[in-house]
Amino acid sequence: EDQVTQSPEALRLQEGESSSLNCSYTVSGLRGLFWYRQDPGKGPEFLFTLYSAGEEKEKERLKATLTKKESFLHITAPKPEDSATYLCAVLIFYGGSQGNLIFGKGTKLSVKP
């Protein structure tokens, strides 16, 4: 069964305290891995797409990396405005051009000043 697991479920950091969020997956036919940020009551906001093991992408204080079995979202010197739920999703193909995004349950990040 295709599955995406994120850990930890919740993470509390002090401002400036760097850390990493994990997304592990067991899927067949992986075509890409996505990171989204979601603020309470709002739709997910696209952050990164990673397609192959070894790939890295950065945006401000965030850096996403991908291996064959998992992805990490590294947060360097976080600020309170980075507080949000971070969602990981994997794109799988069932055949032809039919794809589906399978989401993890997210990591709720709180950054205290």
Partner 1 sequence: DSGVTQTPKHLITATGQRVTLRCSPRSGDLSVYWYQQSLDQGLQFLIQYYNGEERAKGNILERFSAQQFPDLHSELNLSSLELGDSALYFCASSVEGTNTEAFFGQGTRLTVV
User: Which residues contribute to the site for partner 1 (CB under 8 A)?
Assistant: 31-32, 34, 36, 41-46, 49, 87, 89, 91, 93-94, 97-106
Taking the complex as a whole, the smallest distance from the CB of residue 50 to partner 1 amounts, in Å, to: 12
Instruction: Decide whether 78 or 106 has the Cβ nearer to partner 1.
Output: 106
How many Å apart are CA 49 and CA 89, to the nearest integer? 9
> In angstroms, what is the minimal distance from the CB of 44 to partner 1?
5
Shortest CB 17 distance to partner 1, Å: 26
Do residues 10 and 107 touch, judged by C-beta distance below 8 A? yes
- Identify which of residues 42 and 113 has a Cβ nearer to partner 1 in the complex: 42
Nearer to partner 1, 10 or 101 (CB): 101
| Beta bridge partner(s), residue 2 | none
d(CA 94, CA 76): 36
As measured in angstroms, the least distance from the Cβ of 84 to partner 1 is 14
In this structure, what are the phi and psi dihedrals at residue 52, rounded to the nearest 5 degrees? Answer: -140, 150
39 three-class SS: coil
